[in-house]
Amino acid sequence: MDHVISVGMVDVDGFRIPLGTATNFLVDPGVGVGQSAIIHQLTDDELLAKGATPEEALDRVFGRLAGRILLAHHAAIEVGFLAAAVKRLYGITIEIPVVDTLGLGHRALGFGEDHPRDALRLWKLRVRAGLPSYKGHDAVVDALACAELYLALAQELDLTTLGQAIRLS
């Protein structure tokens, strides 16, 4: 079973990113996470010492999402982790409204076109949009990278409302 070990968030207000809202924290899943922690350059000891409990992490995430829409790249992953954690901890099923930059990127590239296998990866879409490269596998950097890509795709696709972004992603 996969676990959330790091959470990164940054707000998008309209068509701007207030960088002071960037937040990053560790989550102690209560079990060793092995290879996943290594990929994110963390250790099980760090997660145990510094990590929020899963309940605290969900409170922080959903507190931040109150009145907002989740923005993510390949949002099925984030939604899947969050929904599974809520189900595991509270025994309920939730739906999370989302804007997915993968869907917007696919729309920008053209659904009927034949694209290279990795064309829809966050970093490839960022290069295509002329955005700078960032080091991956850091939750808050990934959140910022996704937010910037969203703004670029919103401009390219002439999105003027959040409803359009939700519908087209």
pLDDT at residue 35, as a whole number: 63
β partners of residue 71 = 99
Average pLDDT of the segment spanning 60-75: 96
pLDDT at residue 101, as a whole number: 98
Average pLDDT of the segment spanning 38-53: 69
pLDDT at residue 3, as a whole number: 75
Give the pLDDT band (50/70/90) at residue 1: low
Name the nearest CA neighbour of 55 among 79, 21, 30, 76. Answer: 30
Give the pLDDT band (50/70/90) at residue 12: very high
Three-state DSSP class for residue 45: helix
| Model pTM score | 0.88
Average pLDDT of the segment spanning 86-92: 94
pLDDT at 39 over 60: no
In percent, how much of the chain has pLDDT > 70? Answer: 88
Give the separation between CA 63 and CA 5, rounded to whole angstroms: 18
Give the pLDDT band (50/70/90) at residue 91: very high
β partners of residue 141 = none
